[in-house]
Copies of this chain bind each other. A is one copy, B any other.
């Protein structure tokens, strides 16, 4: 009589079975694999499903099969909207294709306690696997416990006992960027790095250092930002006060935006006085002024690869590497000849 009454409970497999005139087990078989089910029976079952608007109960399925067919994704709330979205999309797409759903757990800051909480939350949900898309600073006992129970992949190169590592070669990105500047004739390359807790940041910095070292150049002290355009702007103000700077490698496009703004304000033209290379190749990189020369990395593919690594037991040891390719635009040029 009341409205609540109209909302009967969802039909169950037993209801379908009754309607189709078969047993629940047969319904289960008809709906999943199909080793041995009479086509005619299956037709009847499907008809009944359709008629009743049956929708299988995931909880029950999960309870009896022990698998949730869902994977967890740990993200950082701040810091690089771009790569975060791209990884998410890649993970979700690959998971979806494999019949898995994705649960997200974001952490506000790179903080051990929050990380533990997120992992616990995902573990409580019973995810079959976890993709960690943020750097693990220090791995606690509790994290180890969880990651050794549940297959885990980290996409940033952090290591923990149970977790496989998907290597995106960030050093390569640093090398490519730096080498490009050297090739243009610059004698020195400065660097605005990301936060040191991020493996990405460390690796890019390493690539930069290695590249300079290989060219026999002593690297200047790196400046450090936090990925944000604002931090790039800050560091740019500092760089603008150093006379000899002709080339800068920024660890992210967003920081490069800030960098350019600061340099311009101090009367340093880009690329006339200072060349800038960064990493990410976000969509806007081509539409700022000047268009950014930047190293493209396929985060979407990384997300996909992470899921593949997670679900495919065979390729256990395989760590895929996303190649780094340079998009040359107009923020770099040969140094001004004196």
Contact = CB atoms under 8 A, between A and B. Distances in A.
A63 interface: yes
Interface string A142-169: 0001000100000000000000000000
A284 B96 CA distance: 32
Provide the main secondary structure of the chain A interface.
helix
Contacts of A82: 81
Contacts of A284: 229, 254, 257, 284, 288
A89 B57 CA distance: 28
Given A89-B106, A229-B284, A254-B283, A58 B126 contact: yes
Interface residues of A, number: 59
A334 interface: no
Interface string A114-130: 00000011111110000
Given A7-B149, A59-B63, A254-B284, 7 more contacts: A58-B126, A81-B81, A92-B106, A229-B283, A229-B286, A261-B289, A264-B289
23 contacts: A53-B145, A55-B124, A58-B68, A59-B63, A62-B62, A70-B103, A77-B92, A81-B82, A81-B282, A88-B88, A93-B106, A101-B121, A101-B125, A228-B283, A229-B287, A230-B283, A230-B287, A233-B287, A254-B283, A257-B288, A260-B287, A261-B288, A284-B288
